[in-house]
Structures are given as structure tokens and as C-alpha cells.
Structure 1
Amino acid sequence: MADLEYDVADGIGTILLNRPRLKNAFTFAMIDDWAQALRSARTDPAVRVVVVTGAGDAFCSGVDLDEFNAQAGGPFALKSALTDRIHRVAYALEDLDKPVIAAVNGTAVGAGMDMALMCDIRLVARSARMSEGYIKVGLVPGDGGCYYLPRLVGMAKALELLWTGDFVDAEEALRLGIASHVYDDEGFREAWLGFARRIAAQPPINVQMIKRAAYQSARTDVRTALDLISSHMAVVHSTRDSAEAMAAFRGKRAPVFEGR
């Protein structure tokens, strides 16, 4: 079996980190496949939602340090390993308008936590434990922790977690706004699949435009945001899915969306 598996079913593209013996620590080859899966999902009409999860009892323990240290031949080589390889997942996510869910089962540490933070939503099992543990191995957050974490929990709490490397359990993650839902470990897969299917059942053009507008609005002023959403409203109102949604609402039936 591959160290990273990607499959599409029922509108959901699932990225499975598949090195359970090593807590799904990722290699550079896995990063290449991860970024490629996200690029494929971007243009695949069969994919309406992407889910990232881990095999076994962990989400991701971060980069495989043996391989990472072998690549780090000097400052420039180390920087290149990050910017040219590992960061490609973040860049691919930045280009992806479709929803991306991290289903966090068990441990997510260092870059593993960063990979969860860069998703749109985090659904966590009760066993989930997350830590920005870079400080404990003499490093700084190398995969977006300093960018994503303050936007979720505020600067002061983010700095506390980044400076201490403390673990956050599932309930604390929910309280801080890192996680959207906590589910029992037994039945966790069915829980996140059910949530993903709910999103996949929505009109896909609308879902993508909502994501685009929400992220762009966070980076601009209110007038620009309202001008943008007025354009989005005009576009989605003209789609066949919009007409289908209205007809289904009036007819009190389940809609069937085509993505056009």
C-alpha cells in the first residue's frame, strides 16, 4: 500500500496518510503526492469536498525527521526543502476553492498540526492531541503555524502554544476554536464522512464562492467585500443549481445539483 492514498467517492476526495507505524510522519514523496492530489481535486468535477485524515491511531506526527535532516545540507538547502517541497501543500490549498476538512484522529504534532490548521475545518476524535512542538526539538514552526494558529485562537494564545509546545486535547481544541466538532473515536470515520457528505450535497458553485468570499473578505475592507459578494450573487443566481434549489425548496423535495 502507498504511504499516501487518494481516492474519490460520493463527491469526497479523501487523502489518507498511510504510515501508521511511524504515526504518519510524512516524507518528501508523500508531500509530492499530497500536493498533486489537491491540484487534481481543484479541477475534478467529481470532487466537491476534500478530507485529509490519518491511518491508525494518529493524524500526522509531522515531517519524517530522518529524511528532513538528510536533506538539510546547509541554510539554503534547508530553506529550499521547505519552500520548494513541503510548502507546496499550503500553496495548493490556497488555490483550492473547494472545502477541505482535516479529520484529526489522535496525534497531530509539529508540521502535522500545521497541516490540520491550514484546512478549512477540523473535525477531531476525542483521542486527538495537537501540539506545535517545534520548540521542543530546537526549531521554529516551519509549515505555517505562525500564520494559521493566531488567526484561529488569537495572537496571545497562539504565542503561548508556540512557545511552550503544550498539547491541546480535543475539548480544548473545540473551546479555542481550532476544532469545529468532537466525535467519539468509535464511529469517527462515519461521523466525518457524514459531515463531508452534507457539504458535498450542497450546490458546489455556491460552496466554492462562499469559501472564496470568506477568505478574501478577511483580507480586505467592507466596501470591497460587499462589492465582491454582489458579483458572486449575480453569478450564482444565474446557475441551473440556483433554479434547482429554489424549485426543490418550493416543492419540499431534496434538490439534485449538477455544478452548473
Structure 2
Amino acid sequence: MTHPSPAPAQTPDSPTLYEVREGVAVLTLNRPHRRNAFTRAMLAGWAEGIARAAADPEVRALLVTGAGKGFCAGVDLDEFSQVTSSLDRRAYLADDVHAVARALEGFEKPYIAAINGDAIGAGMDMALMADIRLIGETARLSQGYVRVGLVPGDGGAHMLPRIVGEQRALELMWTGRMVPGPEAVELGIALEAHPTEELFEAAFALAARLAAGPPAAIRTIKRLTRLARSQSLTEHLVHAAAEQAVIQTTEDSAEAQAAFREKRTPVYRGR
């Protein structure tokens, strides 16, 4: 069994905060004075938190949110302005910013974003990486790169068309306009909008519900869904049949069927 590495030192001023309860790891972006604009230290903590959640068998879902009034304002321009050469800027993106995307590429547990405030530029891209997004009614999203003469640098041009379609994605990327929470739900970017003061509890309830499900089946559903992006239906069905054959042999599958027959709540052990 894989066990997580020892937790790094964490203080109230740490750029990311990490805690686990009810099978849910909560990762909080913790630079509220900068609307959670990310620095190298925050990015390292973000990627490390994802790795910890992946390795910890007690964690069955990961929830990310922001401290204060913002979710993530993208890159901290004070830090980024000190990176001047083209090679160093490329390395900043590839080695630091993209570390979060790479960590999530292999993350098979549910990853939920509670977008409590504005998510701008790369901050919106980071939000798009979640499997499910819930948003505050007063929060706003923006592919704001174009407003400062830049292009999406953190996967926005890859993810957004898959969520809203190419036409709408281009409109959002070309204009950089602000999308309020309710419209984000209408466009399919977010699943639900909630009053800001109720958002975290709604997102945590969803994450806890998923954490209470059969872990192997939950992870396999996510894996099948991701693989289907590049598979033909025939390829997908072959893969799904193989995965189903394995899942049917697990203790959790037997427990689910027994609980259904006995009209009780199943207790899953991840075996």
C-alpha cells in the first residue's frame, strides 16, 4: 500500500493550506492579500498537495478553493516581472506553472473546485482543470490574457473548447470578458452557482459524497472518461469491458450488491 510522505511544515501564512477530513483533502490557496495570485512557492505547494492526496489511501477526493475574496488571479506579476529572458519565462511556465497540470494529469480521484471569487487568466485555466466546478454567484471568470497582449499559457486553449465548444471558447479567449457565476453555469463551465457564503459547504458536501463511494469504481470511471477522449467507441468498449471485469471482483462491489439487497448503506473499504 502506498503511503503519503510526511507533511511539510505549514503555518497560517503558508501559500497553500492542506487538511483532510471525512475522506476529503481540502487544498486552500492562501494569498488572500493578492487574490491568490500564484508564486513559485504556491505552485510548489499546490502540486505537492495533489501528490499527497494521490498517495494517501485515506483521501478519496480533493477539493481546492481560495482564501479570502479571490479564487486565483493568475500569475503574481511582481514575481513574474523579475523573470526577464525568454528562456527563463518558458522555464517558469514549464517547470513551475505547468507542474500543477502535470500532477493532475495522473490524478484519478475526484478533483472539485470551489471557485469562491474571481479566477483570471491562468487562474481560470487552473479552475478548468477540475473535474467538477462549483462557483460563487458573485465570482467571475476571465480568459484575461488578451487584455495584456498575451495568449493562454496554462492549457486554456486546450480545455475550454472541450467544455463550451470552439466558437464560444474563441469568443471568451479573444475578448477576455468577465463571465459571472450564473453565466458560467449556463455555459457549462461550472456545475452550480451558490451564494458565496454557502459555496464551500456545498462543494465539500459533494466531495464528501464522492469520497463515500466505492474508490476503485470512482477512479475507474474517471480513467475511462479521460481515455474516451482519444478512443473510438470500439476501443472504449473493449477497455470498459476489461475494467468492469476487474471491478466486479472487488470486495466493494460485493458490498454494494449486499447493501442493495439488505436495504442498508454500504461501507466501502477500497478493496
Where on the TM-score scale, by shorter chain, does this alignment land: which range?
Answer: over 0.9
What's the counterpart of residue 150 of structure 1?
Answer: 161
Match of 1:25 in 2: 37
1:202 and 2:213 aligned: yes
Instruction: Provide the C-alpha distance between the structure 2 equivalents of 1:43 and 1:223, rounded to a whole number of angstroms.
Output: 33
Pairing partner for 2:93 from 77, 82, 98? 82
The offset of 1:12, in angstroms, is 0.6
Q: Which moves more between the two structures, 112-121 or 186-195?
A: 186-195
Instruction: For 2:243 and 2:221, locate their aligned partners in 1 and report how far apart those are by CA, in whole Å.
Output: 9
Match of 2:120 among 87, 105, 109: 109
1:60 and 2:72 are equivalent in the alignment: yes
What amino acid maps onto 1:40 in structure 2?
R
Q: Following superposition of structure 1 onto structure 2, how do residues 214-225 of structure 1 map, counting pairs within 5 Å?
A: 214-225=225-236
**What do the CA deviations read for 1:28-85 (whole angstroms, capped 9, x no partner)?**
01111111111111121011000110011111111101101212x2111111110111
Unaligned regions of 5+ residues in structure 2, if any?
1-11
1:14-53 correspondence to structure 2 within 5 Å: 14-53=26-65
Query: Is 1:249 the counterpart of 2:249 in the alignment?
Result: no
Letter in 2 for 1:189: F
Code of the aligned partner of 1:50? L
Q: Percent identity?
A: 49
Residue 171 (structure 1) shift: 1.3
Give runs of ≥4 in structure 1 deviating > 3 Å: none
SS where residue 87 of structure 1 aligns?
helix
Aligned AA (1:108): A
- CA deviation map 1:80-112 (0-9, x unaligned): 110111101000000100110110011110111
Write the letter of the residue equivalent to 1:39: A
1:115-173: CA deviation from partner (whole Å, max 9, x where unpaired): 00011110111111000101111211111111110110001110110010001111111
1:8 and 2:20 matched: yes
Which secondary structure state, in structure 1, belongs to the residue aligned with residue 197 of structure 2? coil
Aligned to 2:195: 184
User: Is 1:125 paired with 2:136?
Assistant: yes
Whole-Å separation in 1 of the counterparts to 2:140 and 2:123: 11
CA distance in 1, matches of 2:132, 2:120: 17
Partner of 1:171: 182
- Match among 251, 259, 271 for residue 240 of structure 1: 251
- Aligned equivalents of 1:183, 1:236: Cα separation in 2: 35
TM-score normalised to the size of structure 2? 0.94
Post-superposition offset of 1:217:
0.7
- The aligned residue for residue 7 of structure 2 is none
Counterpart of 2:105 in structure 1 is 94
Distance 1:56 1:175 in 2: 25
- The two structures have a TM-score, normalised by structure 1, of 0.98
Distance in 2 separating the partners of 1:58 and 1:84: 25
Alpha-carbon distance in 2 for matches of 1:161, 1:108: 13
**TM-superposed deviation, 1:185:** 1.7
How far 1:186 sits from its partner (Å)?
2.4
Aligned AA for 1:67? E
Task: Give 5+ residue unaligned stretches, structure 1.
Answer: none
